[in-house]
Structure 1
Amino acid sequence: MKQHWILTLSCPDRPGIVHAVAGMLAEHGGNITESQQFGDPASGLFFMRVQVESAASHEELSAAVTDIAARFGMTWQLDTVGRRVRTLVMVSKAAHCLVDLLYRERSQNMPIEVVGVVGNHTDLADIAAFYGKPFHHVPVTATTKAEAEARLRELVKELDVELVVLARYMQILSDELCRDLSGRIINIHHSFLPSFKGAQPYRQAHERGVKIIGATSHYVTGDLDEGPIIEQDVERVDHSRDVSDLVAIGEDVERRTLARAVRWHAEHRVLLDGHRTVVFR
Protein backbone atom coordinates (compact mmCIF):
# COMPACT_ATOMS: atom_id res chain seq x y z
CA MET A 1 0.00 0.00 0.00
CA LYS A 2 1.13 3.53 -0.74
CA GLN A 3 2.11 5.83 2.11
CA HIS A 4 1.88 9.61 2.02
CA TRP A 5 5.25 11.17 2.90
CA ILE A 6 6.60 14.67 3.59
CA LEU A 7 10.19 15.44 2.64
CA THR A 8 11.73 18.76 3.68
CA LEU A 9 15.26 19.83 2.89
CA SER A 10 17.67 22.73 2.74
CA CYS A 11 21.10 23.04 1.16
CA PRO A 12 23.36 25.47 -0.69
CA ASP A 13 21.53 26.60 -3.82
CA ARG A 14 22.76 25.19 -7.12
CA PRO A 15 21.28 23.81 -10.33
CA GLY A 16 19.87 20.30 -10.39
CA ILE A 17 18.38 19.97 -6.91
CA VAL A 18 14.72 19.74 -7.93
CA HIS A 19 15.59 17.40 -10.80
CA ALA A 20 17.53 15.11 -8.49
CA VAL A 21 14.79 14.99 -5.83
CA ALA A 22 11.95 14.49 -8.32
CA GLY A 23 13.92 11.83 -10.19
CA MET A 24 14.69 9.92 -6.99
CA LEU A 25 11.02 9.98 -5.97
CA ALA A 26 9.95 8.80 -9.43
CA GLU A 27 12.42 5.91 -9.24
CA HIS A 28 10.64 4.83 -6.04
CA GLY A 29 7.20 4.96 -7.60
CA GLY A 30 6.41 8.31 -6.06
CA ASN A 31 3.50 10.51 -7.10
CA ILE A 32 4.18 14.09 -5.99
CA THR A 33 1.00 15.64 -4.56
CA GLU A 34 2.47 18.94 -3.35
CA SER A 35 5.79 20.68 -3.98
CA GLN A 36 7.14 24.05 -2.90
CA GLN A 37 10.63 25.48 -3.11
CA PHE A 38 12.47 28.71 -2.45
CA GLY A 39 15.97 29.92 -3.12
CA ASP A 40 17.09 32.67 -0.75
CA PRO A 41 19.51 35.02 -2.52
CA ALA A 42 20.54 36.54 0.82
CA SER A 43 21.69 33.31 2.46
CA GLY A 44 22.42 31.37 -0.71
CA LEU A 45 20.32 28.47 0.57
CA PHE A 46 17.65 26.44 -1.20
CA PHE A 47 14.56 25.14 0.63
CA MET A 48 12.07 22.51 -0.49
CA ARG A 49 8.99 20.73 0.84
CA VAL A 50 7.50 17.81 -1.07
CA GLN A 51 4.53 15.58 -0.33
CA VAL A 52 4.61 12.31 -2.20
CA GLU A 53 2.66 9.07 -2.30
CA SER A 54 4.87 6.01 -2.61
CA ALA A 55 4.84 2.31 -1.76
CA ALA A 56 8.50 2.56 -0.77
CA SER A 57 9.29 2.11 2.92
CA HIS A 58 10.75 4.77 5.19
CA GLU A 59 14.06 2.92 5.13
CA GLU A 60 14.15 2.80 1.32
CA LEU A 61 13.32 6.47 0.90
CA SER A 62 15.69 7.50 3.67
CA ALA A 63 18.55 5.64 2.01
CA ALA A 64 17.78 7.29 -1.31
CA VAL A 65 17.58 10.76 0.24
CA THR A 66 20.84 10.16 2.10
CA ASP A 67 22.59 9.57 -1.22
CA ILE A 68 21.28 12.83 -2.68
CA ALA A 69 21.99 14.71 0.55
CA ALA A 70 25.64 13.71 0.35
CA ARG A 71 25.88 15.18 -3.16
CA PHE A 72 24.19 18.48 -2.35
CA GLY A 73 25.09 18.99 1.33
CA MET A 74 21.47 18.74 2.43
CA THR A 75 19.84 18.89 5.81
CA TRP A 76 16.60 16.94 5.51
CA GLN A 77 13.68 15.29 7.28
CA LEU A 78 11.23 12.59 6.17
CA ASP A 79 7.91 12.01 7.93
CA THR A 80 4.41 10.72 7.22
CA VAL A 81 1.65 13.16 6.33
CA GLY A 82 -0.73 13.79 9.21
CA ARG A 83 1.36 12.14 11.93
CA ARG A 84 0.54 13.79 15.24
CA VAL A 85 3.55 15.51 16.78
CA ARG A 86 3.98 14.79 20.48
CA THR A 87 3.54 18.17 22.13
CA LEU A 88 4.00 19.58 25.64
CA VAL A 89 2.12 22.81 26.36
CA MET A 90 3.41 25.18 29.05
CA VAL A 91 1.10 27.72 30.70
CA SER A 92 0.80 30.17 33.58
CA LYS A 93 -2.63 31.69 34.27
CA ALA A 94 -4.05 32.87 30.93
CA ALA A 95 -6.29 30.17 29.45
CA HIS A 96 -7.17 31.29 25.94
CA CYS A 97 -4.22 29.82 24.03
CA LEU A 98 -4.33 26.48 25.88
CA VAL A 99 -8.08 26.09 25.35
CA ASP A 100 -7.74 26.93 21.67
CA LEU A 101 -4.95 24.40 21.06
CA LEU A 102 -6.76 21.61 22.90
CA TYR A 103 -9.98 22.37 21.02
CA ARG A 104 -8.22 22.37 17.65
CA GLU A 105 -6.45 19.12 18.48
CA ARG A 106 -9.75 17.46 19.31
CA SER A 107 -12.14 19.07 16.81
CA GLN A 108 -10.14 20.50 13.91
CA ASN A 109 -7.61 17.74 13.25
CA MET A 110 -4.56 19.79 14.21
CA PRO A 111 -1.74 17.24 13.80
CA ILE A 112 -0.47 17.38 17.38
CA GLU A 113 -0.87 15.03 20.34
CA VAL A 114 -0.77 17.03 23.54
CA VAL A 115 0.90 14.58 25.91
CA GLY A 116 0.89 16.92 28.90
CA VAL A 117 0.36 20.43 30.21
CA VAL A 118 2.96 22.07 32.46
CA GLY A 119 1.97 25.02 34.62
CA ASN A 120 3.97 27.13 37.02
CA HIS A 121 0.58 27.81 38.66
CA THR A 122 -2.37 25.43 39.09
CA ASP A 123 -5.03 27.78 37.67
CA LEU A 124 -5.46 25.80 34.42
CA ALA A 125 -5.34 22.28 35.85
CA ASP A 126 -9.11 21.93 35.50
CA ILE A 127 -8.95 22.77 31.78
CA ALA A 128 -6.29 20.12 31.22
CA ALA A 129 -8.44 17.61 33.12
CA PHE A 130 -11.52 18.50 31.02
CA TYR A 131 -9.61 17.53 27.89
CA GLY A 132 -8.10 14.46 29.53
CA LYS A 133 -4.55 15.79 29.62
CA PRO A 134 -2.09 15.19 32.48
CA PHE A 135 -1.26 18.40 34.33
CA HIS A 136 2.19 18.84 35.85
CA HIS A 137 2.61 21.60 38.39
CA VAL A 138 6.18 22.87 38.20
CA PRO A 139 6.43 26.03 40.31
CA VAL A 140 9.21 28.49 39.52
CA THR A 141 10.88 30.97 41.82
CA ALA A 142 14.21 32.77 41.60
CA THR A 143 15.76 30.08 43.80
CA THR A 144 14.09 27.04 42.16
CA LYS A 145 14.46 27.86 38.47
CA ALA A 146 17.24 25.29 37.96
CA GLU A 147 15.15 22.56 39.61
CA ALA A 148 12.10 23.54 37.55
CA GLU A 149 14.04 23.29 34.29
CA ALA A 150 15.49 19.95 35.37
CA ARG A 151 11.93 18.69 35.86
CA LEU A 152 10.97 20.03 32.45
CA ARG A 153 13.85 18.15 30.87
CA GLU A 154 12.68 14.99 32.61
CA LEU A 155 9.17 15.43 31.21
CA VAL A 156 10.46 16.04 27.70
CA LYS A 157 12.42 12.79 27.90
CA GLU A 158 9.77 10.71 29.71
CA LEU A 159 6.96 11.78 27.38
CA ASP A 160 9.07 11.60 24.21
CA VAL A 161 8.19 15.23 23.47
CA GLU A 162 8.91 16.56 19.98
CA LEU A 163 7.49 20.08 20.37
CA VAL A 164 7.15 22.43 23.35
CA VAL A 165 4.61 25.25 23.10
CA LEU A 166 4.72 28.23 25.45
CA ALA A 167 1.02 29.14 25.52
CA ARG A 168 1.38 32.38 27.48
CA TYR A 169 3.94 30.81 29.83
CA MET A 170 5.19 33.83 31.73
CA GLN A 171 8.67 32.63 32.65
CA ILE A 172 12.00 33.20 30.91
CA LEU A 173 13.85 29.99 30.05
CA SER A 174 17.60 29.66 30.41
CA ASP A 175 19.91 30.02 27.43
CA GLU A 176 21.01 26.42 27.84
CA LEU A 177 17.47 25.04 27.71
CA CYS A 178 16.65 27.23 24.70
CA ARG A 179 19.70 25.84 22.88
CA ASP A 180 18.79 22.25 23.75
CA LEU A 181 15.26 22.72 22.38
CA SER A 182 16.29 24.86 19.43
CA GLY A 183 13.86 24.62 16.53
CA ARG A 184 11.26 22.75 18.55
CA ILE A 185 9.98 25.26 21.08
CA ILE A 186 7.41 27.87 20.02
CA ASN A 187 6.27 30.96 21.91
CA ILE A 188 3.37 33.38 21.49
CA HIS A 189 4.21 36.96 22.34
CA HIS A 190 1.29 39.28 22.93
CA SER A 191 2.77 42.06 20.85
CA PHE A 192 3.68 42.79 17.26
CA LEU A 193 7.43 42.28 17.61
CA PRO A 194 9.88 43.96 17.59
CA SER A 195 7.72 46.59 19.32
CA PHE A 196 6.66 46.38 22.98
CA LYS A 197 8.83 43.56 24.28
CA GLY A 198 8.63 42.19 27.80
CA ALA A 199 5.85 42.80 30.32
CA GLN A 200 2.56 44.66 29.81
CA PRO A 201 2.82 45.18 26.04
CA TYR A 202 -0.83 46.22 25.72
CA ARG A 203 -0.33 49.00 28.27
CA GLN A 204 2.79 50.04 26.38
CA ALA A 205 0.81 50.02 23.13
CA HIS A 206 -2.04 52.04 24.64
CA GLU A 207 0.36 54.65 25.94
CA ARG A 208 1.80 55.02 22.44
CA GLY A 209 -1.66 55.36 20.88
CA VAL A 210 -1.16 52.56 18.37
CA LYS A 211 -3.62 52.00 15.54
CA ILE A 212 -2.94 48.29 15.22
CA ILE A 213 -2.23 45.64 17.82
CA GLY A 214 -0.91 42.20 17.10
CA ALA A 215 0.73 38.99 18.16
CA THR A 216 3.90 37.21 17.12
CA SER A 217 4.62 33.49 17.26
CA HIS A 218 8.29 32.58 17.07
CA TYR A 219 10.84 29.94 17.89
CA VAL A 220 12.42 30.49 21.30
CA THR A 221 16.08 31.43 21.61
CA GLY A 222 18.20 32.75 24.44
CA ASP A 223 17.50 36.30 23.24
CA LEU A 224 14.19 37.36 24.81
CA ASP A 225 11.39 37.59 22.21
CA GLU A 226 13.88 37.67 19.32
CA GLY A 227 13.70 34.12 17.94
CA PRO A 228 12.91 33.38 14.27
CA ILE A 229 9.37 34.56 13.53
CA ILE A 230 6.87 31.99 12.22
CA GLU A 231 3.64 33.99 12.07
CA GLN A 232 2.23 37.42 12.93
CA ASP A 233 -1.27 38.88 12.84
CA VAL A 234 -2.89 42.23 13.66
CA GLU A 235 -6.21 43.94 14.38
CA ARG A 236 -7.00 47.61 13.86
CA VAL A 237 -7.91 49.69 16.92
CA ASP A 238 -8.58 53.38 17.54
CA HIS A 239 -8.40 56.02 20.24
CA SER A 240 -11.64 54.87 21.90
CA ARG A 241 -10.14 51.59 23.09
CA ASP A 242 -8.81 51.33 26.63
CA VAL A 243 -6.24 48.85 27.88
CA SER A 244 -8.82 46.19 28.76
CA ASP A 245 -10.23 46.41 25.22
CA LEU A 246 -6.78 45.92 23.75
CA VAL A 247 -6.19 42.89 25.98
CA ALA A 248 -9.49 41.28 24.90
CA ILE A 249 -8.87 41.91 21.21
CA GLY A 250 -5.26 40.82 21.60
CA GLU A 251 -6.18 37.48 23.13
CA ASP A 252 -8.13 36.58 20.01
CA VAL A 253 -5.16 37.53 17.82
CA GLU A 254 -2.79 35.56 20.04
CA ARG A 255 -4.71 32.30 19.93
CA ARG A 256 -5.11 32.22 16.14
CA THR A 257 -1.51 33.31 15.53
CA LEU A 258 -0.15 30.58 17.81
CA ALA A 259 -2.47 27.98 16.30
CA ARG A 260 -1.24 28.70 12.79
CA ALA A 261 2.41 28.55 13.88
CA VAL A 262 1.91 25.23 15.69
CA ARG A 263 -0.01 23.72 12.77
CA TRP A 264 2.59 24.78 10.22
CA HIS A 265 5.40 23.42 12.38
CA ALA A 266 3.59 20.11 12.86
CA GLU A 267 2.98 19.87 9.11
CA HIS A 268 6.70 20.51 8.47
CA ARG A 269 5.97 23.75 6.65
CA VAL A 270 8.53 25.82 8.59
CA LEU A 271 12.23 25.67 7.75
CA LEU A 272 14.87 27.70 9.56
CA ASP A 273 16.93 30.13 7.50
CA GLY A 274 19.38 31.56 10.02
CA HIS A 275 17.47 34.09 12.12
CA ARG A 276 14.53 33.92 9.72
CA THR A 277 12.08 31.24 8.63
CA VAL A 278 10.80 29.95 5.32
CA VAL A 279 7.12 29.04 5.70
CA PHE A 280 5.48 26.95 2.95
CA ARG A 281 1.78 27.60 3.57
Structure 2
Amino acid sequence: MMKLTSPLQAPVVEARTTIEHVLTLDCAEAPGIVHAVTGFLLEHGYDIVDNQQFGDRCRGHFFMRLHVARRVEADAGVGIEGETPAAEEAEERFRADFAPLAERFGMRWELHRHGAKRRVLIMVSKFGHCLIDLLFRAASGELPIEIVAVVSNHRDHEALVEWHKIPFFHIPVTRETKPAAEARLLELVDELDAELVVLARYMQVLSDELATRLTGRTINIHHSFLPSFKGAKPYHQAYERGVKTVGATAHYVDSELDEGPIISQQVMEVDHTYGPEELVAAGRDTECRALSNAVKWHCEGRVILRDNRTVLLR
Protein backbone atom coordinates (compact mmCIF):
# COMPACT_ATOMS: atom_id res chain seq x y z
CA MET A 1 0.00 0.00 0.00
CA MET A 2 1.32 3.49 -0.87
CA LYS A 3 0.74 6.70 1.13
CA LEU A 4 1.23 10.17 -0.41
CA THR A 5 1.70 12.87 2.22
CA SER A 6 2.36 15.68 -0.26
CA PRO A 7 2.48 16.14 -4.04
CA LEU A 8 6.13 17.09 -3.63
CA GLN A 9 7.08 14.06 -1.62
CA ALA A 10 8.01 10.64 -2.97
CA PRO A 11 5.55 7.86 -2.15
CA VAL A 12 6.22 6.00 1.08
CA VAL A 13 5.93 2.23 0.67
CA GLU A 14 4.82 0.28 3.70
CA ALA A 15 7.15 -2.64 4.31
CA ARG A 16 4.77 -5.58 4.41
CA THR A 17 5.12 -9.21 3.51
CA THR A 18 2.77 -12.16 3.17
CA ILE A 19 3.11 -15.25 5.33
CA GLU A 20 1.45 -18.43 4.13
CA HIS A 21 0.66 -21.57 6.08
CA VAL A 22 -0.90 -24.96 5.55
CA LEU A 23 -3.35 -26.08 8.21
CA THR A 24 -4.40 -29.74 8.22
CA LEU A 25 -6.89 -31.25 10.63
CA ASP A 26 -9.14 -34.23 11.20
CA CYS A 27 -11.77 -35.10 13.77
CA ALA A 28 -15.09 -36.86 14.24
CA GLU A 29 -17.83 -35.38 12.07
CA ALA A 30 -19.92 -32.73 13.82
CA PRO A 31 -22.03 -29.73 12.81
CA GLY A 32 -20.21 -26.40 12.54
CA ILE A 33 -16.60 -27.52 11.94
CA VAL A 34 -16.11 -25.62 8.68
CA HIS A 35 -17.92 -22.57 10.06
CA ALA A 36 -15.74 -22.54 13.16
CA VAL A 37 -12.46 -22.93 11.27
CA THR A 38 -13.19 -20.39 8.55
CA GLY A 39 -14.58 -17.98 11.12
CA PHE A 40 -11.37 -18.29 13.13
CA LEU A 41 -9.31 -17.52 10.02
CA LEU A 42 -11.42 -14.46 9.22
CA GLU A 43 -11.11 -13.12 12.76
CA HIS A 44 -7.33 -13.52 12.63
CA GLY A 45 -6.90 -11.80 9.28
CA TYR A 46 -6.17 -14.81 7.10
CA ASP A 47 -7.30 -15.26 3.50
CA ILE A 48 -8.05 -18.79 2.28
CA VAL A 49 -5.94 -19.49 -0.81
CA ASP A 50 -7.12 -23.09 -1.20
CA ASN A 51 -9.39 -25.43 0.73
CA GLN A 52 -9.80 -29.20 0.38
CA GLN A 53 -12.05 -31.24 2.65
CA PHE A 54 -13.54 -34.69 2.88
CA GLY A 55 -16.24 -36.14 5.06
CA ASP A 56 -15.92 -39.90 5.40
CA ARG A 57 -19.58 -40.77 5.88
CA CYS A 58 -18.84 -44.47 6.30
CA ARG A 59 -16.61 -43.83 9.30
CA GLY A 60 -18.08 -40.55 10.53
CA HIS A 61 -14.78 -38.67 10.23
CA PHE A 62 -13.88 -35.28 8.76
CA PHE A 63 -10.63 -34.18 7.08
CA MET A 64 -9.56 -30.70 6.00
CA ARG A 65 -6.53 -28.96 4.46
CA LEU A 66 -6.34 -25.19 4.12
CA HIS A 67 -3.69 -23.04 2.47
CA VAL A 68 -3.98 -19.62 4.11
CA ALA A 69 -2.19 -16.28 3.82
CA ARG A 70 -1.85 -13.15 5.93
CA ARG A 71 -0.10 -9.82 5.44
CA VAL A 72 2.28 -8.76 8.24
CA GLU A 73 4.83 -6.05 8.81
CA ALA A 74 8.26 -6.81 7.32
CA ASP A 75 10.91 -5.86 9.86
CA ALA A 76 13.79 -3.82 8.49
CA GLY A 77 16.87 -5.80 7.58
CA VAL A 78 15.06 -9.14 7.59
CA GLY A 79 14.34 -11.35 4.59
CA ILE A 80 11.03 -11.19 2.75
CA GLU A 81 10.11 -14.89 2.91
CA GLY A 82 8.11 -14.61 6.09
CA GLU A 83 11.07 -15.17 8.45
CA THR A 84 10.46 -12.02 10.50
CA PRO A 85 9.68 -11.45 14.16
CA ALA A 86 6.19 -10.29 13.12
CA ALA A 87 5.63 -13.49 11.15
CA GLU A 88 6.88 -15.67 13.99
CA GLU A 89 4.66 -13.80 16.45
CA ALA A 90 1.65 -14.28 14.15
CA GLU A 91 2.34 -18.01 13.92
CA GLU A 92 2.68 -18.37 17.68
CA ARG A 93 -0.58 -16.48 18.18
CA PHE A 94 -2.29 -18.69 15.61
CA ARG A 95 -1.20 -21.84 17.43
CA ALA A 96 -2.21 -20.54 20.85
CA ASP A 97 -5.59 -19.23 19.72
CA PHE A 98 -6.48 -22.24 17.56
CA ALA A 99 -5.76 -24.78 20.31
CA PRO A 100 -9.04 -24.23 22.22
CA LEU A 101 -11.07 -24.57 19.02
CA ALA A 102 -9.23 -27.78 18.15
CA GLU A 103 -9.83 -29.13 21.64
CA ARG A 104 -13.55 -28.35 21.39
CA PHE A 105 -13.90 -30.58 18.31
CA GLY A 106 -11.27 -33.14 19.36
CA MET A 107 -9.09 -32.31 16.37
CA ARG A 108 -5.68 -33.60 15.45
CA TRP A 109 -4.05 -30.71 13.64
CA GLU A 110 -0.77 -29.46 12.20
CA LEU A 111 0.41 -26.06 11.01
CA HIS A 112 3.32 -25.71 8.59
CA ARG A 113 4.85 -22.81 6.71
CA HIS A 114 3.74 -23.09 3.09
CA GLY A 115 6.63 -23.84 0.73
CA ALA A 116 9.07 -24.63 3.52
CA LYS A 117 11.43 -27.46 2.62
CA ARG A 118 11.18 -30.59 4.77
CA ARG A 119 14.38 -32.24 5.95
CA VAL A 120 14.58 -35.70 4.37
CA LEU A 121 16.95 -38.61 4.94
CA ILE A 122 17.06 -41.16 2.10
CA MET A 123 18.01 -44.82 2.46
CA VAL A 124 19.04 -46.94 -0.51
CA SER A 125 20.75 -50.24 -1.34
CA LYS A 126 22.06 -51.20 -4.79
CA PHE A 127 19.19 -50.16 -7.07
CA GLY A 128 19.67 -46.43 -7.64
CA HIS A 129 16.87 -45.30 -9.95
CA CYS A 130 14.58 -43.97 -7.20
CA LEU A 131 17.48 -42.23 -5.46
CA ILE A 132 18.60 -40.59 -8.71
CA ASP A 133 15.06 -39.44 -9.42
CA LEU A 134 14.69 -37.87 -5.96
CA LEU A 135 18.09 -36.15 -6.23
CA PHE A 136 17.07 -34.59 -9.54
CA ARG A 137 13.62 -33.51 -8.40
CA ALA A 138 15.02 -32.00 -5.20
CA ALA A 139 17.78 -30.12 -7.06
CA SER A 140 15.32 -28.80 -9.66
CA GLY A 141 12.91 -27.56 -7.00
CA GLU A 142 10.12 -29.94 -8.01
CA LEU A 143 10.08 -31.46 -4.52
CA PRO A 144 9.87 -29.22 -1.43
CA ILE A 145 12.63 -31.10 0.36
CA GLU A 146 16.18 -30.69 1.59
CA ILE A 147 18.03 -34.00 1.44
CA VAL A 148 20.14 -33.90 4.59
CA ALA A 149 21.83 -37.30 4.10
CA VAL A 150 21.79 -40.56 2.21
CA VAL A 151 22.30 -43.80 4.14
CA SER A 152 23.15 -47.08 2.45
CA ASN A 153 24.26 -50.59 3.34
CA HIS A 154 26.43 -50.50 0.19
CA ARG A 155 28.86 -47.97 -1.29
CA ASP A 156 27.57 -48.11 -4.89
CA HIS A 157 26.10 -44.57 -4.85
CA GLU A 158 28.59 -42.84 -2.58
CA ALA A 159 30.34 -40.88 -5.34
CA LEU A 160 27.04 -39.74 -6.87
CA VAL A 161 25.66 -38.53 -3.55
CA GLU A 162 28.85 -36.68 -2.65
CA TRP A 163 28.87 -35.07 -6.11
CA HIS A 164 25.53 -33.58 -5.09
CA LYS A 165 27.28 -32.27 -1.95
CA ILE A 166 25.07 -34.39 0.31
CA PRO A 167 26.53 -36.36 3.24
CA PHE A 168 26.73 -40.12 2.60
CA PHE A 169 26.76 -42.65 5.43
CA HIS A 170 27.72 -46.27 4.83
CA ILE A 171 26.06 -48.48 7.44
CA PRO A 172 26.53 -52.19 6.63
CA VAL A 173 23.84 -54.53 7.90
CA THR A 174 24.17 -58.17 8.85
CA ARG A 175 22.04 -60.27 11.14
CA GLU A 176 24.57 -59.69 13.91
CA THR A 177 25.04 -55.95 13.34
CA LYS A 178 21.41 -55.00 12.60
CA PRO A 179 20.61 -53.66 16.10
CA ALA A 180 23.71 -51.46 16.07
CA ALA A 181 23.01 -50.33 12.49
CA GLU A 182 19.46 -49.31 13.37
CA ALA A 183 20.67 -47.51 16.48
CA ARG A 184 23.10 -45.54 14.32
CA LEU A 185 20.28 -44.69 11.90
CA LEU A 186 18.16 -43.29 14.72
CA GLU A 187 21.15 -41.24 15.88
CA LEU A 188 21.42 -39.72 12.40
CA VAL A 189 17.71 -38.98 12.26
CA ASP A 190 18.02 -37.07 15.53
CA GLU A 191 21.36 -35.40 14.76
CA LEU A 192 20.21 -34.20 11.34
CA ASP A 193 16.72 -33.28 12.54
CA ALA A 194 15.24 -35.36 9.72
CA GLU A 195 11.47 -34.92 9.43
CA LEU A 196 10.99 -37.75 6.92
CA VAL A 197 12.86 -40.98 6.13
CA VAL A 198 12.48 -42.30 2.57
CA LEU A 199 13.31 -45.91 1.71
CA ALA A 200 14.25 -45.57 -1.96
CA ARG A 201 14.62 -49.29 -2.70
CA TYR A 202 16.36 -49.96 0.61
CA MET A 203 16.38 -53.74 0.62
CA GLN A 204 16.54 -54.34 4.35
CA VAL A 205 13.47 -55.06 6.48
CA LEU A 206 13.24 -52.63 9.38
CA SER A 207 12.75 -54.14 12.81
CA ASP A 208 9.37 -53.76 14.48
CA GLU A 209 10.91 -51.44 17.06
CA LEU A 210 12.43 -49.12 14.46
CA ALA A 211 9.28 -49.12 12.31
CA THR A 212 7.24 -48.19 15.37
CA ARG A 213 9.66 -45.39 16.32
CA LEU A 214 9.36 -43.89 12.84
CA THR A 215 5.62 -44.40 12.35
CA GLY A 216 4.06 -41.74 10.16
CA ARG A 217 7.37 -40.34 8.98
CA THR A 218 8.86 -43.17 6.92
CA ILE A 219 7.84 -43.81 3.31
CA ASN A 220 8.76 -46.99 1.44
CA ILE A 221 8.50 -47.83 -2.24
CA HIS A 222 7.43 -51.39 -2.96
CA HIS A 223 7.88 -52.62 -6.51
CA SER A 224 4.40 -54.08 -6.75
CA PHE A 225 0.80 -52.92 -6.84
CA LEU A 226 0.01 -53.79 -3.24
CA PRO A 227 -1.65 -55.73 -1.72
CA SER A 228 -0.59 -58.15 -4.48
CA PHE A 229 2.88 -59.72 -4.54
CA LYS A 230 4.37 -58.75 -1.20
CA GLY A 231 7.90 -59.53 -0.09
CA ALA A 232 10.87 -60.42 -2.31
CA LYS A 233 10.90 -60.61 -6.12
CA PRO A 234 7.38 -59.30 -6.74
CA TYR A 235 7.97 -58.95 -10.49
CA HIS A 236 8.88 -62.61 -10.70
CA GLN A 237 5.71 -63.43 -8.77
CA ALA A 238 3.75 -61.28 -11.21
CA TYR A 239 5.31 -63.09 -14.17
CA GLU A 240 4.27 -66.45 -12.77
CA ARG A 241 0.68 -65.20 -12.51
CA GLY A 242 0.69 -63.82 -16.05
CA VAL A 243 -0.35 -60.31 -15.02
CA LYS A 244 -1.39 -57.74 -17.62
CA THR A 245 -0.60 -54.76 -15.40
CA VAL A 246 2.40 -54.06 -13.18
CA GLY A 247 2.78 -51.25 -10.74
CA ALA A 248 4.45 -49.77 -7.69
CA THR A 249 3.15 -48.66 -4.31
CA ALA A 250 4.49 -45.97 -1.99
CA HIS A 251 3.29 -46.46 1.57
CA TYR A 252 4.03 -45.55 5.14
CA VAL A 253 6.13 -48.11 6.97
CA ASP A 254 4.68 -49.96 9.93
CA SER A 255 5.56 -53.14 11.80
CA GLU A 256 3.89 -55.37 9.17
CA LEU A 257 5.93 -56.07 6.03
CA ASP A 258 4.48 -54.21 3.02
CA GLU A 259 1.22 -53.61 4.90
CA GLY A 260 1.55 -49.91 5.75
CA PRO A 261 -1.04 -47.28 4.73
CA ILE A 262 -0.88 -46.61 1.00
CA ILE A 263 -0.11 -43.08 -0.23
CA SER A 264 0.49 -43.39 -3.98
CA GLN A 265 0.28 -46.07 -6.66
CA GLN A 266 1.29 -46.16 -10.33
CA VAL A 267 0.57 -48.83 -12.94
CA MET A 268 1.43 -49.65 -16.54
CA GLU A 269 0.12 -52.24 -18.97
CA VAL A 270 2.23 -55.25 -19.98
CA ASP A 271 1.49 -58.47 -21.84
CA HIS A 272 2.56 -62.09 -22.22
CA THR A 273 5.74 -61.12 -24.08
CA TYR A 274 7.30 -59.61 -20.95
CA GLY A 275 9.70 -61.88 -19.09
CA PRO A 276 10.69 -61.28 -15.45
CA GLU A 277 13.58 -58.96 -16.35
CA GLU A 278 11.43 -56.97 -18.78
CA LEU A 279 8.86 -56.54 -16.02
CA VAL A 280 11.60 -55.29 -13.69
CA ALA A 281 12.74 -52.74 -16.27
CA ALA A 282 9.20 -51.66 -17.08
CA GLY A 283 8.41 -51.15 -13.41
CA ARG A 284 11.23 -48.71 -12.69
CA ASP A 285 9.35 -45.69 -14.01
CA THR A 286 6.28 -46.54 -11.94
CA GLU A 287 8.46 -46.86 -8.84
CA CYS A 288 10.04 -43.44 -9.35
CA ARG A 289 6.73 -41.71 -10.00
CA ALA A 290 4.86 -43.35 -7.12
CA LEU A 291 7.63 -42.52 -4.66
CA SER A 292 8.16 -38.92 -5.79
CA ASN A 293 4.41 -38.28 -5.63
CA ALA A 294 4.21 -39.71 -2.12
CA VAL A 295 7.14 -37.60 -0.91
CA LYS A 296 5.71 -34.45 -2.50
CA TRP A 297 2.22 -34.95 -1.10
CA HIS A 298 3.51 -35.78 2.37
CA CYS A 299 5.77 -32.73 2.48
CA GLU A 300 3.00 -30.44 1.22
CA GLY A 301 0.72 -31.62 4.02
CA ARG A 302 -1.72 -33.32 1.66
CA VAL A 303 -1.72 -36.73 3.35
CA ILE A 304 -3.65 -37.34 6.56
CA LEU A 305 -3.00 -40.69 8.16
CA ARG A 306 -5.75 -42.31 10.19
CA ASP A 307 -5.63 -45.91 11.38
CA ASN A 308 -4.40 -48.00 8.42
CA ARG A 309 -5.68 -45.64 5.72
CA THR A 310 -4.66 -42.33 4.26
CA VAL A 311 -6.78 -39.46 2.98
CA LEU A 312 -5.16 -37.45 0.21
CA LEU A 313 -6.35 -33.84 -0.10
CA ARG A 314 -5.07 -32.30 -3.30
TM-score norm. by structure 2 comes to 0.88
Residue 37 in 1 paired to residue 25 in 2? no
Residue 280 in 1 paired to residue 296 in 2? no
1:83-106 CA-partner distances (Å, limit 9, x unpaired): 100000000000000000010001
Measure, in 2, the Cα distance between the counterparts of 1:185 and 1:72.
28
Residue 212 in 1 paired to residue 228 in 2? no
Measure, in 2, the Cα distance between the counterparts of 1:225 and 1:167.
14
Task: State the 1:132 CA deviation.
Answer: 1.2
Residue 64 in 1 paired to residue 97 in 2? yes
Task: State the 1:115 CA deviation.
Answer: 0.1
1:228-261 CA-partner distances (Å, limit 9, x unpaired): 0001110000011111111111011100100000
Task: State the 1:108 CA deviation.
Answer: 3.6
1:147-193 CA-partner distances (Å, limit 9, x unpaired): 00000010001000100000000001111111111110000000011
Measure, in 2, the Cα distance between the counterparts of 1:153 and 1:20.
40
TM-align CA RMSD: 0.9
Task: Report the structure number with the largest CA radius of gyration.
Answer: 2
- Residue identity in the other structure for 2:192: L
Determine helix, strand or coil for the equivalent of 2:310: strand
Determine helix, strand or coil for the equivalent of 1:142: coil
Which residue among 209, 215, 224 is the counterpart of 1:176?
209
Measure, in 1, the Cα distance between the counterparts of 2:213 and 2:56.
27
Unaligned runs of 5+ in 1: none
Residue 149 in 1 paired to residue 149 in 2? no
* Regions of 4+ moved over 6 Å: none
Residue 245 in 1 paired to residue 281 in 2? no
Which residue among 260, 276, 298 is the counterpart of 1:265?
298
Paired-residue identity, % = 57
Which residue among 216, 222, 226 is the counterpart of 2:255?
222
Determine helix, strand or coil for the equivalent of 1:2: strand
Measure, in 2, the Cα distance between the counterparts of 1:51 and 1:64.
18
Which residue among 27, 38, 48 is the counterpart of 2:64?
48
Structure 1 match to 2:26: 10
Task: State the 1:49 CA deviation.
Answer: 0.2
Measure, in 2, the Cα distance between the counterparts of 1:82 and 1:175.
33
Residue 199 in 1 paired to residue 232 in 2? yes
Determine helix, strand or coil for the equivalent of 1:172: coil
Task: State the 1:129 CA deviation.
Answer: 1.2
Measure, in 1, the Cα distance between the counterparts of 2:142 and 2:164.
15
Structure 2 match to 1:23: 39
Task: State the 1:41 CA deviation.
Answer: 2.1
